[in-house]
Structure 1
Amino acid sequence: MELSCKCEYAVLALLSLVDHYPQGEPLRIRQIAAQQHIPDRYLEQLLAILRRSGLVCSQRGARGGYLLAREPWKITLLEIINCIEGRDPQSNALPQTGLTTEKAVVQELWQEADQAASKILKNCTLQDLCDRRDAKKQIDLMYYI
């Protein structure tokens, strides 16, 4: 199980938006791309997907850009990944017809692993990720002092 580059970029872009959420100030694509080292054109496509799914909203004008559409503690990583990957959260069931015993056992185990990963991602929000990042930065800072 790997996090696709597409999902990683989406999460990184959203983390940039979380940092500006308390001020309510939108970020431009150029700013997010520079902060997170994401190609502008690719980021533009990802933000369009996130906007259509209601995770971010856009603001036009000279002071325009992108904002989180909801509070960071209400957006889960599972929601982000499902949005970007185009997966339906309800469609995790595997077809069980015509399988050998070995294939059925492997598929059952894979489904258990997928459910465990989904549970973790469902319980982790953007705010949790920011808190982890900030704690890690604090530890790294204290180490070098």
Structure 2
Amino acid sequence: MSLPSKVEYALLALLEMASQPDLKKPLTVNEITAKQPIPERYLEQIFASLRRGGLLKSQRGSKGGYVLAREPQDITLLEIVSIIEGNRQIKENMDVSTVEMKLIQESWQQANQAAQSILGQYTLLDLCKQRESYIQQSLMYYI
């Protein structure tokens, strides 16, 4: 399984927003795309979905932009993925005509449940902390 680009861009943008010292200061799409390799028009579409999903608030005006609707520790990766991707689960009432199809369906459901469990354990704040840890490690140099 691969990480869809739409989810990757959403995570990059939200991580950028959650890493700001002042979480109440709105960030524009331009400010985020200047720091992260995200196409501007694509990010606008992603932000529209995140706003409708309740993760972002938009502010109009010359000092407008986007802010997180909740604190980073209250936003799980599962929420982000669910808003961007939707709830893509195998239909339980799917017509299973062969043993092989039943095995495939059961395996896929177990993988989906495991992924949801892991994504539900991590928050945006966890990503911010891990990012800071990686930055600190990369700043270490030896003489």
TM-score, structure 2 normalization: 0.92
Matching residue's letter, 1:40? E
RMSD: 1.7
Matching residue's letter, 1:86? G
Unpaired segments ≥5 residues, structure 2: none
108 and 135 in structure 1: CA distance in 2 versus 1, 3 angstrom threshold: same
Matching residue's letter, 1:20? Q
Percent of pairs identical after alignment?
Answer: 51
SS at match of 1:95: coil
When the two structures are aligned, how many residues end up with a matched partner? 143
Distance 2:105 2:23 in 1: 47
Query: Which of 110, 119, 123 is the matching residue for 1:121?
Result: 119
Matched residue, 1:97: 95
In the TM superposition, residue 2 of structure 1 has moved relative to its aligned partner by 1.6
Which stretch has the larger CA shift, 106-115 or 19-28?
A: 19-28
Contact between 1:20 and 1:26, CA under 8 Å: does it hold in 2? no
Matched residue, 2:10: 10
Distance 1:100 1:110 in 2: 15
SS at match of 1:6: helix
Matched residue, 1:49: 49
TM-score, structure 1 normalization: 0.90
1:1-145 aligned at under 5 Å gives the runs 1-20=1-20, 22-87=22-87, 91-143=89-141
Which 4+ stretches in 1 moved above 6 angstroms?
none
